[in-house]
Structure 1
Amino acid sequence: MDTTVTEVAPDIYRLSTFVPDAGIMFNQYLIDAEEPLLFHTGLRALFPSVSAALGRVMPVERLRWITFGHVEADECGSMNAWLAAAPHSQVAHGVVGCLVNVNDLADRPPRPLADGELLELGRRRVRRIETPHVPHGWDAGLFFEETTGTLLCGDLFTAMGEAPALTDKEIVGPALTAEDAYGATCLTPGTGPAIRALAVLQPETLCLMHGPAYQGDAGQALRDLAGAYDERLAAEGVRLHGPITPSA
């Protein structure tokens, strides 16, 4: 397996590894600023390849922040390997995730981030956005890099198979195909509104964990995904409870 490196927005690099046995891509994103930040660590088995790829952009020991969307092996499995390789680095995660998981799992104490809290990286800055259970995980949240309009969107828009580093082709269809296969999204009344709230940010680039980085009408893509999940939730309600008859 080889990890490729592509700059998908100014100072933002996609580190991507296709794992044939899983039939899916695993992406990490590096923001190369005065205080460099890594979003997603990758699985422990991928650490040698991913760290070597990051080293083609900057020395690994410069890494300052280690972040991820939620606690899951492909998002933070190699967290402690990164902490060891970058002695001045620190995990930054949401308050709930730190209390429930990361305080115990990380080899150094993490920095808990409140909803909306800003991390100043120097010429770049990222804001933590809490999205509990969207797409899954009590501790779920995303990061928005404000100077480039880049949304690090984790498992949203997960697609199967290989993909180019950058695309302007629609990404909702592949995401729904993957949802049919995996059933990974929590469908609740809050799912659609949480995704629509991300569209209000007017992102210019969507950085997918499993798929390409998308540069197109990102706001519309988020609204379309939210609408599709609303439809699925409504259909599931009908399946379980039958049609709702309006009261007189």
Structure 2
Amino acid sequence: MSIIYNDLYQFSTYVPPIDLTFHQYLLQAEESVLVHTGAMQQGEALLPQLKTALNDKKLSYIFISHFESDECGALSLILKHFPEAKAVCSEITARQLSGFGITSKVLVKKPGEKLVTKDYELEFISYFSEMHLWEGLLMIENKRGILFSSDLMFRLGKADNAIIEGSWQEEVANITPLQVPDPNRRLELQETLGKLTPKFIATGHGPCVKL
């Protein structure tokens, strides 16, 4: 666990067989936001660190970019310990969660919508993830300039508390069919992202990027 940028905590797990680091994040605020839960095993390791970072404060939201095990596999575990928290996700992800009995604690957001409190302004962006091309969401925190890129921008290797310098336009241009297989959706996403001016990319995997 480390503070990776301003009041943003990062929790990381490195998996050597696939040479990949998995990150979850906590945006510390009066209404704190957890970004992803990790798979169940990662969630079990995350839980005590999350409680330490929150320091007895409540967890208000859990952002899920898309329906995949490392994004929301430990959601039921986290909700057991933080029953007041609401999962924030796309309509399709909410539909999948309902199949696991998670229905009452879901806040559905559409691209272009926002979640605003006195501490942050979260804006949601359409993200057709590689998982069946189901529509998910990217999220940008506009006050701090943090883009949570999920699986869209990532690098292999051990990357606990790692930050590299980068160019936003290059990061957008380097989105490949591996991240978004549909060429039309990929171009649409690149055009949308090209209009943004984030200062920091909080990646789902690999080092974060300071812009």
> TM-score under structure 1 normalisation?
0.74
Maintained 8 Å contact 1:132/1:140: yes
1:107 is aligned to 2:102: yes
Q: What is the CA-CA distance between 1:184 and the residue it aligns to?
A: 5.0
Aligned to 2:202: 207
1:120 is aligned to 2:119: no
Give percent identity, aligned residues only.
Answer: 24
Q: Which residue identity is paired with 1:56?
A: T
Q: Return the alpha-carbon distance in structure 2 between the equivalents of residues 191 and 60 of structure 1.
A: 41
The CA deviation string for residues 71-98 of structure 1, in whole angstroms up to 9 with x for no partner, is 0001110011111010211111112322
SS in 2 for 1:201: coil
SS in 1 for 2:18: coil
Aligned to 1:41: 37
Q: What is the CA-CA distance between 1:135 and the residue it aligns to?
A: 8.2
SS in 1 for 2:154: coil
Q: Return the alpha-carbon distance in structure 1 between the equivalents of residues 209 and 131 of structure 2.
A: 18
SS in 1 for 2:49: helix
Maintained 8 Å contact 1:28/1:42: yes
SS in 1 for 2:50: helix
Q: Which residue identity is paired with 1:150?
A: I
Q: Return the alpha-carbon distance in structure 2 between the equivalents of residues 79 and 60 of structure 1.
A: 19
1:144 is aligned to 2:134: no
Cα distance change on mapping 1:71 and 1:135 into 2, 3 Å? closer
1:166 is aligned to 2:143: no
Q: What is the CA-CA distance between 1:39 and the residue it aligns to?
A: 0.9
Q: Which residue identity is paired with 2:84?
A: H
Q: What is the CA-CA distance between 1:186 and the residue it aligns to?
A: 1.3
Aligned to 2:73: 77
1:89 is aligned to 2:109: no
Q: Return the alpha-carbon distance in structure 1 between the equivalents of residues 183 and 101 of structure 2.
A: 31
Cα distance change on mapping 1:56 and 1:120 into 2, 3 Å? same
Q: By percentage of residues, which structure has more strand?
A: 2
Cα distance change on mapping 1:118 and 1:169 into 2, 3 Å? closer
Aligned to 2:24: 28
Q: What is the CA-CA distance between 1:56 and the residue it aligns to?
A: 2.8
- Write out the 4+ residue segments of structure 1 that deviate beyond 3 Å after TM superposition: 133-137, 169-173
Q: Which has the higher contact order (CA 8 A, sep 6+)?
A: 2
Maintained 8 Å contact 1:42/1:78: yes
Matched ranges for 1:1-16 at <5 A: 5-16=1-12
> TM-score under structure 2 normalisation?
0.86
SS in 2 for 1:18: strand
Q: Return the alpha-carbon distance in structure 1 between the equivalents of residues 32 and 190 of structure 2.
A: 27
Q: What is the CA-CA distance between 1:137 and the residue it aligns to?
A: 3.3
The Cα RMSD (Å) is: 2.7
Q: Return the alpha-carbon distance in structure 1 between the equivalents of residues 133 and 79 of structure 2.
A: 23
Q: What is the CA-CA distance between 1:32 and the residue it aligns to?
A: 0.7
Maintained 8 Å contact 1:35/1:122: no
Q: Which residue identity is paired with 1:18?
A: Y
Q: Return the alpha-carbon distance in structure 2 between the equivalents of residues 135 and 101 of structure 1.
A: 12
Instruction: Please list every run of 5 or more consecutive structure 2 residues that lacks an aligned counterpart in the other structure.
Output: none
Maintained 8 Å contact 1:40/1:66: yes
